[in-house]
Every structure is written in structure tokens, then in C-alpha cells.
Amino acid sequence: MRTIANPISVHKFGGAALANADAIRAVVNILAGTSGERVVVTSALAGVTDILLNIARAAAKGDLATAHAQADALLERHVSVAKSIDSAATSTLTYIDDSFKELHKLAENVAQARDLSAQMSDLIISRGERLAARIVADALRVEKISACVVDATEFLHSDGRFGDAAPDIARTEIAAQNIFPDKLRTGDIVVVPGFIAAGSSGANGSTGPVVTLGRGGSDLTATVTARALGAKEVTLWKDVPGFLTADPRLIPEARVVPLLDPREASELAYYGAKVLHPRALIPLDARTTLRIRPFNQPDAAGTEIVQGRSMAGSPVRALSAMTAQALVTVAGNGMLGVPGIAARTFGALANAGISVSLISQASSEHSICFTVPEVAAALAEKELRAAFATELERNEIDSVEVLLGVATVAVVGSGMARTPGVAARVLGCIADAQVNVIAIAQGSSERNISFIVNKECVPKTVRAIHTTFSLDKVGGGRTARRRGADVILLGCGRIGQELLKNIAELPSNDRAALRIIGVLDRSGFMLEKRGFSLRALSDISAHKQRGGSLKTLPHAHSGAPTAAIEHIASHALTRPVLIDLSSGDTRETLLRAVAHGMDLVIANKIPLASDSASANALLHDARKRGRKVLHEATVGAGLPIIDTVEKLIASGDRILNIVACPSGTMGYLFSELGRGRKFSAALRNAMQLGYTEPDPREDLSGRDVARKGLILGRLIGYVGELNDVAIESLVPTNLRDISLAHFAEQLEMLDQEWSERVRAVTSKGEVLRYCANITRASVKVGLVGVPVGSLLGSLSGTDNQFVFTTTRYRDNPLVISGPGAGPAVTAAGVLNDLLRVVIS
């Protein structure tokens, strides 16, 4: 074997790095910054493999029109990228043209046969990487970097299995050593199409038809090539900052793991960490370091995977999940102590070409269960029933059962072997998240605990473990998340409209960081993953204010808010925040949102003023999951009331008493009465100005003030329910249950009594105020007379006032007053909270 003197490096670029001509130029830039002998492995341009597969499947269904149309669009895309890279590269243009001519032909053959063999599928999709390799080589030459293309089938030998071939490392090594050294020595960068290989050899040593290495296989091309050439380094340039502690689509705050042992990385990849082909680490030997680095930040170190080195720190390194699994259980009394059942079980599956991942056998040997890919479940069941036909008949084996829709979650880390209690912590936190574990297995290496859960539970399971082991704090790593936050609005009426106005006025950087991706109401929801335009939102809000429901809008889904949260949470979200602008009982929705990792900004008083058990459950749950709950707008709208209470408490002060006028409606009413206005006239005016709820009795009953009092009370340690709050209602008993119209007609009848009350306090030099009086022991709301010249007495219009008497502010209480009612200031409070969540 010839040895190669210079250190060789292999660089693989995934589809996302080859999205378009600009991206490809950025790839060339990265390569221009490297030196030594270099091999470049290319994926297909972004999304191309999927489109080629669609074409093949459409053809197999006889839908040639679709197949041809998609092929033409794809041709167009390649031609346009190639021309933009190098308009003079006629040989590439001819190559592209020929490749697509062949594709049209193949599609016709498939359509005629109405069958898509694995061999044909591989032949069709293999062109994606071959086209990309040529375009990348052109792009290098344009920048005066000499480059040539070596087709993978010239050296990468395999076992010839279509769709999922395994490389033949020994043969590949010999072939590569024959081809590469000369080319590399002349200074060429050798560009190799990834993902494809030569089929198995016939008896005469010839190679078979082209095969593919399984989806994501260009990672494997890179590591096999590195092995064959004894390369010092392989770098996989991806769209993530490195190998992350969890899939960033599930856990936006996942962090880069700076250093991984190949065995750890292998287990993660095997159990579904999509960042790496599951078999990519097999060829890697001790000479070679593998790096996963972000192509859009070429200076970042990413993740280094190298034998014999691993990181200290948490026993758990990272998590992965594999969905679309089925759990098969073979059970029966006759299995007890009978040797060979397991061997026969797995033998039967191996013969059918079904690969088994997690295996768990109860020590009683009464049953054995394992997972197989969901698509193979029916075949697995059939094979097992055939293999155990006799035992089934004799009832030695009772059943072969298949449970579909499960997922395997793997918790991986070398440190687990040395740390007692990891399994208990893992299982404890998933139990807390109320996830049922269906089966569990711990590898004897103790490097991996994997278990089966229902597939719907994967996000919350992964999140629970991620939080429990503080993986979002892994040192040295950077988070994967995009900047900013994905915001979901629950309710989008008047406050929503004001919020949009405020957002539109933000500096453009902040505005761009707030993507409103979802809007919900009782009837349905709308979702736009890239974020709605302010214009679209404004239309939605206008529709809501006209009394329309969301589900009647085009592109809306119907469904309850809880279902909407489930749906939205199943997408990849960045820093999701749910804003509750509604006025209903949203407890269940908020709990769901927290369970899916959302932070909450709440303007709605109902959930926090509901029974203490549910209000506490929400806050407790959020704290446990590290989620924030900000609700400044529930009391005093945009005034910093909650914030002040929290800061006083945090700084060690003790709040003895809060006296507050927290209702703009009541404030307006009594300042008008003080100026000699009649009650009926003042109330009618308040209704016209939009200061009251649609039914003003909501305000006059005192319940709104009581809710605010309760929310404040709970912050300072009041333990009690809304029913425990002493409420003085201003609605006479006989007017409580009549219609609004009827109530409105009776207002004048109340004038007399109110004039007398006003006169009585005026004679004492006082004015009437509707106040909440809050201590740790009690919350009371009702009408009081206060001296004209006092702080509360001087309050006017819809202004709110809060007077805090604390250990430090005892003689001279702390007072906050200002506009505390109305959509505009409420929206300001909400925006403030939102920015606090997003910036922290």
C-alpha cells in the first residue's frame, strides 16, 4: 500500500450548505481558508433527494405528468445554479442536460412497469449528488482552486444492498489508494459525490449497479473515504452549530457538546440523532478526528469526535429519539427456561432483513419485547407467527403482539457508568412529566439507557430529561436557537390590535426578533411558521373585533385552544412564548403550553385568580420546567406593579399592606360623581367611552377588583380563594339577574341613593373610592370614603393607584399611580413582559 505523506482532510457539505449559488460560493470560501490535501464530499443540493424520490414514486403510480413536471423544474434549478456559478462551464451544462434526459427516460420505464424497484430508485436518486459534485468543482475552479471530480463508484465498494448499502472498507481502501494520491499531489481538491457507492462485485471482480448508503449517507461517504485515505480530519459542515444535546427542533435551547467520544456519538446517531448517519462512525479509526461544524459560522469549533477523549461533567451527554417504531412482544408461559427462543426470534427477523433496535427481556423469561421500524411491523409479525407456528398452536407461546406509534428515547453519556442513580433520575423526571414508560433497556456498557414511550410523549419526555440534567447549561457550547422568539397569541381583539401597533413601532432589530407565528381563539387557530406579517395580523384582529371567529378565516384550522397548542408544539419552535390576551378560563391551555416548553405572558386575570390549587399548579409546573410566567398586565395594566412587589420581596422587604384603586372603570365613575355628575350619566358615559366591560355590572359587582386583589394578595403570601375575598357589590340584588337592556333602563332609579351617599361623604371632607385592601391575612374590596386631599382622594379619571406599606416604607408608603386601564396601556404591559422573556 502506498502511503500518503501530507495530512489529508475530508470536508463534507450537507444539502443545506448547497442550497443555491450563493451558498455554494460560501462553501468555496470555507475551502479557500483550508490547506493541505483535501477531499470534498457533496450531498445533493438542498431537498433534491426528496424531489427525486417524489418523481420516482409519481412515475410508479403512473402519474407521468407530475414526474415530468417536477423533473423539468429540477433541471431548471440545476441549470440556473450552474450558470450563476460559471456561465462558461459548458461541460457541466451538458452533463446536467444528459442526466435529466436519462431521468425522464427512467421515469417512463418506471411508469410503464408500474413498479419502483430498490435498484431503480437508487439509480434515479444517485444523480443528485453527482450533479452537485460537478457544480461544486466548477465553483472551486472559478476561484482558481484546481479541482477534479472522482465518482464514488470508482472506489467506494459496498455489499450492493440497494437503498442501504454497507461499504466494503478493505476493497475501498485499495481502490482509493490507487486513485487519490496522484490527484491530491498535483494540488487538486478531489470532489466526490456522497451517498452513492458501487454495488457488490460479481465473481469476476466487476462492480454492480450504483447503490445508495441510506438517507443521510454522504456522512458515511466522508468517513469511509477518510478511513481509506488515512485522513487526519473529517469535517461535516452542517446547518447546526455542532452535535447538540438534543434535537434542536424539539429543544430550542439545546447546546453544542464540544467533545464526544465516538461510542457516545454512535449510540446517539443510531437512536435517531439525525445530525449524523447512524453508521457514519463505524469506519472511523483512532487516526482520524471527526468534526461537526456550522457552515454559516466557519470560525466556530463545533463538536469534536475523537477516540479516547470525552468531556467531564454531566453523566448524561445528550439525548436522541427515534419515532415511527413499533413494539413487538412475544409472550407465553411455555417460553420459561426454554433455550433458543430469543435466538429463533431474532433469527427469523434477520432472515427477513428486519433490523431490531431496543430489546428488553423480563428476567422471568415470560416475555421478550423489542422494537422494529413501524414500516416493518406487519412483516415482523408474519415472520414470527410462521417461525413459532407450532408453539402458538400448543399454547406455549400465547401471543405475538404489535404496538404501533411508539418511539425510542435514548439517554447517552459515558459518565453514566460511573454515576449511581442516573436511571432513577431519568425515570423520576419522566414520571413527573406524566409520561408512561412502556419498556426500558439499559445497554451493558451503561453508556445508554433507552426506553419506549408513545410517540406523542417524545417532546415532553426529552424536555424533562434535558431540564433535569441541566443540559441547557452545557459549558462552552453555544445554543442552537435562532435569535428571537416564536410568539403565539391567545386572543387577538382590542389589546391584540394595540400590541401589534406597539410591535410595529419597535426598532427593526427587536421587531424582527418577535415572530408571531400563531393566533388562537376558542374556535380555531392560524399558524404561519415564518411569522405573520403585521398586515396579516391586523386583518385577523379586525375580523375578531367585528365579532368574527378565527375558524371562519381562510387557512384557519378549527379546534379548541388545547388542540391548537398540541398542533403548534409539534413544529420546530424557537423560544416559544404564549401570550394570553383572552378573558376566559384558559388554565388547561396554559398548562399544555408550559408542558410543551412555552414561556407565558398573561394579561388575562382568570387563570391566576382561579382556585389556588390550579393557579399554584400552573406556577409550580412552570418553575419546575424552567419556564417563565410574566403577568404584569393583569394588575394596573402597564404600570410596574407586579414587578415592584417582586423586587421588594426579593430585596428582603416585607409588604405589610397594599391599598389600591386598581379599576379604571370605578376610578372614572367616582371621580365623575365627586364632580357632581349623576350616577346614571357617569355610568352611561363610561360605557360609551369603552371604559366598562360590555355589561357594566361586571365592573360594578367588584369581581374584577377582587381578582386583581387576589393576584396581588397571593404574591405577598395571602392563602385564600376568590370566595374568601370580602366583596362589596355596587349592583343592587334585584338588578343582578335581569337583562342588560333592562338594567340600562333602571339606571336613573339609582341616582337618588348615590347622590345621598356622595353628599354624606362630602360633608365629612371625603370622596368615594372603590378600593382593595390587601394584607397577608385578608383581601377586602369595597367602597370607602377617603379625605379629599389624600393620595387616593386626589386620583382622577381612569388612573389607578397602589400604595405599598412595607417594613422599609412604613411611615412614608411607596406609591405608584398612573393610567392603569384600557387596551393601549395593557398592551404596553404585555409588550414589556414579552421583551423581558425574549431578552433574558
In the complex, minimum distance from the CB of residue 370 to ligand ASP, in angstroms, rounded to a whole number? 26
216 near ligand ASP, judged by CB under 6 A: yes
Alpha carbons 357 and 303: distance in angstroms, whole number: 26
In the complex, minimum distance from the CB of residue 51 to ligand ASP, in angstroms, rounded to a whole number? 10
Shortest-Cβ-distance residue relative to ligand ADP:
14
Residue 88 C-alpha cell reads as 462558461
In the complex, minimum distance from the CB of residue 15 to ligand ASP, in angstroms, rounded to a whole number? 5
Q: Which does 173 bind (CB under 5 to 8 A by kind): ligand ADP, Mg ion, ligand ASP, none?
A: none
Q: Which does 236 bind (CB under 5 to 8 A by kind): ligand ASP, Mg ion, ligand ADP, none?
A: ligand ADP
Alpha carbons 550 and 558: distance in angstroms, whole number: 8
Residue 454 C-alpha cell reads as 408513545
Q: Which does 215 bind (CB under 5 to 8 A by kind): ligand ADP, Mg ion, ligand ASP, none?
A: ligand ASP
In the complex, minimum distance from the CB of residue 237 to Mg ion, in angstroms, rounded to a whole number? 11
In the complex, minimum distance from the CB of residue 27 to ligand ASP, in angstroms, rounded to a whole number? 14
In the complex, minimum distance from the CB of residue 14 to Mg ion, in angstroms, rounded to a whole number? 5
In the complex, minimum distance from the CB of residue 719 to Mg ion, in angstroms, rounded to a whole number? 55
Query: Closer CB to ligand ADP, residue 303 or residue 497?
Result: 303
Q: Residue from 167, 217, 484, 829 that binds ligand ASP (CB under 6 A)?
A: 217
Question: For residue 387, how far is the Cα from the chain centroid?
Answer: 43
The CB-side HSE value for 485 (13 A sphere, CA atoms) comes to 24
In the complex, minimum distance from the CB of residue 216 to Mg ion, in angstroms, rounded to a whole number? 4
Query: Closer CB to ligand ASP, residue 126 or residue 806?
Result: 126
Instruction: Identify which of 286, 27, 265 has the alpha carbon closest to the alpha carbon of residue 139.
Output: 27
Q: Which does 138 bind (CB under 5 to 8 A by kind): ligand ASP, Mg ion, ligand ADP, none?
A: none
Q: Which does 247 bind (CB under 5 to 8 A by kind): ligand ASP, Mg ion, ligand ADP, none?
A: ligand ADP
In the complex, minimum distance from the CB of residue 270 to ligand ADP, in angstroms, rounded to a whole number? 12
Query: Closer CB to ligand ADP, residue 45 or residue 786?
Result: 45
Q: Which does 128 bind (CB under 5 to 8 A by kind): ligand ADP, ligand ASP, Mg ion, none?
A: ligand ASP
Q: Which of residues 623-662 bind Mg ion (CB under 5 A)?
A: none
195 near ligand ASP, judged by CB under 6 A: yes
Alpha carbons 635 and 133: distance in angstroms, whole number: 62
Alpha carbons 703 and 159: distance in angstroms, whole number: 75
Residue 570 C-alpha cell reads as 409539534
Q: Is 466 in contact with 411 (CB distance < 8 Å)? A: no
In the complex, minimum distance from the CB of residue 50 to ligand ASP, in angstroms, rounded to a whole number? 7
Query: Closer CB to ligand ASP, residue 216 or residue 696?
Result: 216
* Alpha carbon distances (Å) from 546 to 247, 373, 493: 42, 50, 9
Dihedral angle sign, alpha carbons of residues 640, 641, 643, 645: positive
Q: Which of residues 85-144 bind ligand ASP (CB under 6 A)?
A: 128
H/E stretch holding 594: helix 587-595
Cross-strand pairs, 527: 518
Q: Is 140 in contact with 31 (CB distance < 8 Å)? A: yes
Q: Which does 194 bind (CB under 5 to 8 A by kind): Mg ion, ligand ADP, ligand ASP, none?
A: ligand ASP
Alpha carbons 39 and 234: distance in angstroms, whole number: 9
Query: Closer CB to Mg ion, residue 275 or residue 376?
Result: 275
Query: Closer CB to ligand ADP, residue 184 or residue 244?
Result: 244
In the complex, minimum distance from the CB of residue 474 to ligand ADP, in angstroms, rounded to a whole number? 12
- Could you give the 3-state DSSP secondary structure of residue 95? helix
DSSP 515: E
Alpha carbons 658 and 817: distance in angstroms, whole number: 13
Q: b/e string for 385-399 if b means 16 or more Cβ within 10 A?
A: eebbeebbeeebbbe
Query: Closer CB to ligand ASP, residue 235 or residue 450?
Result: 235
Q: Is 262 in contact with 306 (CB distance < 8 Å)? A: yes
Query: Closer CB to Mg ion, residue 110 or residue 211?
Result: 211
Instruction: Identify which of 68, 17, 456 has the alpha carbon closest to the alpha carbon of residue 238.
Output: 17
Helix axes 679-688, 751-763, angle to 10 degrees: 110
Query: Closer CB to ligand ASP, residue 280 or residue 774?
Result: 280
Choose one: 32-40, 145-153, 211-219, 254-262; the region binding ligand ASP (CB under 6 A).
Answer: 211-219
Query: Closer CB to Mg ion, residue 216 or residue 820?
Result: 216
Determine phi and psi for 821, rounding to 5 degrees. Answer: -145, 155
Query: Closer CB to ligand ASP, residue 161 or residue 425?
Result: 161
34 to 63: interface string for ligand ASP, x by CB under 6 A:
---------xx----x--------------
Alpha carbons 503 and 537: distance in angstroms, whole number: 11
* Alpha carbon distances (Å) from 291 to 27, 310, 475: 16, 14, 18
Query: Closer CB to ligand ASP, residue 220 or residue 256?
Result: 220
Query: Closer CB to ligand ASP, residue 214 or residue 531?
Result: 214
Q: Is 545 in contact with 514 (CB distance < 8 Å)? A: no
Q: Is 64 in contact with 104 (CB distance < 8 Å)? A: no
Choose one: 106-114, 214-222, 237-245, 758-766; the region binding ligand ASP (CB under 6 A).
Answer: 214-222
In the complex, minimum distance from the CB of residue 580 to ligand ASP, in angstroms, rounded to a whole number? 41
Q: Residue from 181, 193, 194, 272 that binds ligand ASP (CB under 6 A)?
A: 194
Q: How many residues bind ligand ASP (CB under 6 A)?
A: 13
Residue 459 C-alpha cell reads as 417532546
Query: Closer CB to ligand ADP, residue 93 or residue 246?
Result: 246
One DSSP character per residue, 117-152 reads -HHHHHHHHTHHHHHHHHHHHHHHHHTT--EEE--G
In the complex, minimum distance from the CB of residue 54 to ligand ASP, in angstroms, rounded to a whole number? 12
- Could you give the 3-state DSSP secondary structure of residue 572? coil
Q: Which does 273 bind (CB under 5 to 8 A by kind): Mg ion, ligand ASP, ligand ADP, none?
A: ligand ADP
Binding site for ligand ADP (CB under 6 A): 14-16, 43, 216, 236, 238-240, 243-244, 246-249, 273-275, 318
Q: Is 173 in contact with 227 (CB distance < 8 Å)? A: yes
Query: Closer CB to ligand ASP, residue 195 or residue 469?
Result: 195
Q: Residue from 216, 496, 702, 823 that binds Mg ion (CB under 5 A)?
A: 216
Q: Please report which residue ranges of 303-357 form alpha helices under DSSP H.
A: 341-351
Helix axes 341-351, 377-387, angle to 10 degrees: 130
Query: Closer CB to ligand ADP, residue 15 or residue 518?
Result: 15
Alpha carbons 76 and 419: distance in angstroms, whole number: 57
- Could you give the 3-state DSSP secondary structure of residue 830? helix
Q: Which does 195 bind (CB under 5 to 8 A by kind): Mg ion, ligand ADP, ligand ASP, none?
A: ligand ASP
Most distant CA atoms of the chain, gap in Å: 116
In the complex, minimum distance from the CB of residue 254 to ligand ASP, in angstroms, rounded to a whole number? 21
218 near ligand ASP, judged by CB under 6 A: yes
- Could you give the 3-state DSSP secondary structure of residue 801? strand
Q: Which does 274 bind (CB under 5 to 8 A by kind): ligand ADP, ligand ASP, Mg ion, none?
A: ligand ADP
Alpha carbons 528 and 555: distance in angstroms, whole number: 10
Q: Is 310 in contact with 360 (CB distance < 8 Å)? A: no
Residue 649 C-alpha cell reads as 420581596
Q: Which does 551 bind (CB under 5 to 8 A by kind): Mg ion, ligand ASP, ligand ADP, none?
A: none
Alpha carbons 278 and 346: distance in angstroms, whole number: 21
Residues that bind Mg ion (CB under 5 A): 216
Residues that bind ligand ASP (CB under 6 A): 14-15, 43-44, 49, 128, 194-195, 215-219
